[in-house]
Structure 1
Amino acid sequence: FNEMLGSQRKLPDGFLEDVILAFPSQDLMNMLGRYVLAMYSFDDEPDDLSVKNNIMQSVLLIATFPSFVSYGYQAKEYNYNNKTLHIRNPLPELSTAENILRLIRSDGQYSKEEARILDLFLVLHAEHGGGNNSAFATHVVSSSGTDIYSAITAAIGSLKGFRHGGANLKVMGMMEEIKANVKDWTDENEVSEYLKKILNKQAYDKSGLIYGIGHAVYTLSDPRAVILKEYVKDLAQSTDRMAEFNLYDLVERMSPIALNEHKGNHKSVSANVDFYSGFLLDMLGIPKEMFTPLFAVSRIVGWCGHRIEELINGGKIMRPAYKNVVTPQNYMKLDDRK
């Protein structure tokens, strides 16, 4: 399978110059969606809905997403931030994580440990069930009988939202504000008081949400967050950022208490995978604008799986069911209305 992915890494002839470099954008997720739609034009059988063809299309998308994201970032930095343009071909013998680090860094260098940690991030974000918004979007759009490129673009649009793929950026922003406003990062009372301000819509984005805490499915604990936290701690020790890690740990421990006091209940609440993922990527030196696109590089695997599942087990178009909750009223002619 790795050899198959490696053989599909190279983008179609002219794609880099005519699609990526010719039309840069400041939003990498919008660019990613455009690249996926453009792949339709390079496919000889884009509308073939057979499972075999969709599996081959899926492998192609999984293999090319790292280049889409990396080249899109390079084009953005060159056009909007006056940075040097670094373009390297992906190497078929390298893993997805290794190729990403090689393509986005100016010197193309990375350590095996960095690649291993980024690979873990990608594995943990690849899928966690059909209940997530972007996977559901894939099912809904696929059920209409459209092509894979249209369905995956819909999923990308879903993942772009801050309530889904952009959640770790919200966590990072929240933690930056906590670091700036809490004098003693080790003081439980001071941290707890600031969390109460966030819940009372007096701090951060005034939404009343502690980002990265709580999950619709994982209530007792998010196994992805548990695994990720171990590696985050090791990386924090090696990068001299243990003070920040300890603050994250304290916020993780104090948030459920603050939430239950605020809502007056005793529900089990835990950190989700978004809570530590942004911190991990930041320690790897990955720019914030790539956080959500990297999520997409991982989640394309899950989307393709859901796409194929819909093709095999579907057969009917998904439509919402509406229930009229308006009180019945007698019809009144337009001339009689006030």
Structure 2
Amino acid sequence: MVNQMKNMDPETIHTICEQLRPLHQVKKDTFSKYNVKRGLRNADGTGVMAGITRLGNVHGYLLNEGEREPIEGKLTYRGIDLYDLLYAFEHENRFGFGEVGYLLLSGSLPTREQLSRFTAMIGEARALPDNFTEDMIMRAPSPDIMNKLASATLALYSYDPTPDDISTENILRQGIGLMAKFPVIISHAYQARRRYFEGKSLFLHEPDPKLSTAENILRLIRPDGSFTDDEAKLLDRCLIIHAEHGGGNNSAFTAHVVSSSGTDTYSAIAAAVGSLKGPRHGGANLKVVQMFDDIKAHVTDWSDQDAVYQYLLRILAGEAGDHSGLIYGMGHAIYTLSDPRAVSLKAAARPLAEKKGYLDEFNLIETVERLTPAAFAESRGMDSKVMCANVDLYSGLVYKMLGIPQEMFTPLFATARIVGWIAHRMEEVAFGGRIIRPAYKAVSKSAPYIPIDERG
């Protein structure tokens, strides 16, 4: 690998950064002075309304005379409760991610014939273009699969005969193609990472058009391609609960912003992938895993609740963990009493933990979930704190029990969420109408131009 930094002048880099540092200092009261909604958030923590969607609804509290009133969380896809969808798929013992994809993209549940034709279309679209793996993935392997997913998405533009057509029909065609190919791209990128950065054997399997997305993922990442039906059904549940989460989450909003400019599908989706990679968004599941590795290394008896509680206080004080003062996997911008995704995943995780010998780890996660609100309240000098586990608290353990490597956690999230991204893109193009352009308050002072020979 060529070191791209070797020709960079460190003195110039240092000088520019030193010049920038004072310019990056803005007093906190400056934002309130100019009524700037930092992070597109109102003063009470609610999000600034920036659009309208018929896709998904994230409901986590009520506003009662201007005060937040905590409630059990509810997530709906096209008006249908997530719990009802998961119950139906489990009761009928079938894979549901394809059906959820059809629902989100079309606005209604499919008939058996419609679902069969839709899933068959996805199956046939899974194959990557000829030599794509060799040219786009193997020749430039990446230590981070999300970056390779973004670059591969952009590369697919070159294989599309009508890449810039933004008609609903063409965006849907492109979206189905990307939905089908994401599992193959992330799996081949993972194998390239193993080979070139870890020196391990390379196992490249081709997708099976007759298998579901979850089955194909497990088949593609495992050396022998084997998996059980129970494993695939649990992964299918993970994909379902990550498929959509309203238009206000960072990556969906990114898809809206980029799409509003009139650009192509591949650019919009690659941008959404970049957003999801961040540790404050989709990358949070890795932070949860790292946090629990740290807790397990420093708390000898995981069943000792007082010891766990005291360590949580140290994490919140910035004295332990990654010193950020954050307990990852706890709390959410909207959900208060519960995150339905976390509730759904937790219910499925317990029996698998019992079966695979991970019950101690499951109980530790449950202990952290139970103790964090009180620890947070004590550390911040509050009487109480309403705080629930979010989906990231349990997703890492589920992936671990399925034998999925950590490098694949966030790419799996992207493989599920692309359904929502495509649906949001179609909404934005259809009835957005204007480029999204929020205002920024300029606070720099006027300055004269100084001739170059007079500058110090």
Per the normalisation by structure 1, the TM-score is 0.95
What does 1:37-52 align with in structure 2 at a 5 Å threshold? Answer: 37-52=154-169
1:58-85, Cα deviation, whole Å (9 max, x unpaired) = 0000000000000111111112222221
- Aligned-pair distance for 1:22? 1.9
Q: Aligned ranges for residues 70-149 of structure 1 at < 5 Å? A: 70-149=187-266
> Alignment identity in percent?
56
Please identify the structure whose Cα radius of gyration is greater.
2
Q: Quickly say closer, same or farther: Cα 1:332–1:74, change in 2 above 3 A.
A: closer
SS at match of 1:173: helix
Deviation at residue 334 of structure 1 after TM alignment: 6.5
Deviation per CA, 1:25-62, whole angstroms, max 9, x where unpaired? 11111100110000000000000010110000000000
AA at the equivalent of 1:106? P
Match of 1:258 among 364, 367, 375: 375
- Is the Cα contact below 8 Å between 2:277 and 2:283 reproduced in 1? yes
Deviation at 1:228, TM superposition (A): 0.3
Tell me which of 253, 262, 268 is aligned to 2:386. Answer: 268
Task: Name 1:290's counterpart in structure 2.
Answer: 408
Cα distance between partner residues in 2 of 1:190 and 1:16:
49
Moved more, 83-92 or 245-254: 83-92
Equivalent residues in 2 for 1:18-33, closer than 5 Å? 18-33=135-150
Question: Deviations 1:212-262 (Å, cap 9, x if unpaired)?
Answer: 000001112100000100111111101111111111100000001111222
Match of 1:319 in 2: 437
Bigger CA drift: 6-15 or 273-282?
Answer: 6-15
Return the offset for 1:184: 1.6
RMSD of aligned alpha carbons = 1.7
* SS at 2:300 equivalent: coil
> Which residue of structure 2 lines up, in the alignment, with residue 232 of structure 1?
349
What secondary structure is seen at the aligned counterpart in 2 of 1:13? coil
The answer (yes or no) to whether the contact 2:190–2:408 under 8 Å persists in 1 is: yes
The Cα shift of 1:23 comes to 1.7
Distance 1:182 1:5, change over 3 A: same
**Structure-2 separation of matches of 1:89 and 1:244:** 34
Structure 1 residues 146 and 246, CA gap change in structure 2 (3 angstroms)? same
Does the alignment pair 1:157 with 2:274?
Answer: yes
Structure 1 partner of 2:132: 15
Q: Which has the higher contact order (CA 8 A, sep 6+)?
A: 1
- Is 1:209 the counterpart of 2:319? The answer is no
Q: Which has the higher strand share?
A: 2
CA distance in 1, matches of 2:446, 2:354: 71
Q: Deviations over 1:258-285 (max 9, x none)?
A: 1122223333100000001011101111
The 2-side partners of 1:333 and 1:117 are apart by 63
User: Is the CA contact 2:374–2:385 (under 8 Å) kept in the aligned structure 1?
Assistant: no
Q: With structure 2 as the length reference, what TM-score do the two structures score? A: 0.71
> Secondary structure, in 3 states, of the residue corresponding to 1:26?
coil
Work out the number of aligned pairs and report it.
335
Give the helix-richer structure, 1 or 2: 1
Point out the more displaced range, 317-326 or 156-165.
317-326
Q: Distance in 1 between matches of 2:395 and 2:330?
A: 13
Distance 2:285 2:347 in 1: 17
User: Helix, strand or coil for the counterpart of 1:271?
Assistant: coil
Which residue does 2:88 correspond to in 1? Answer: none
Deviation at 1:18, TM superposition (A): 1.5
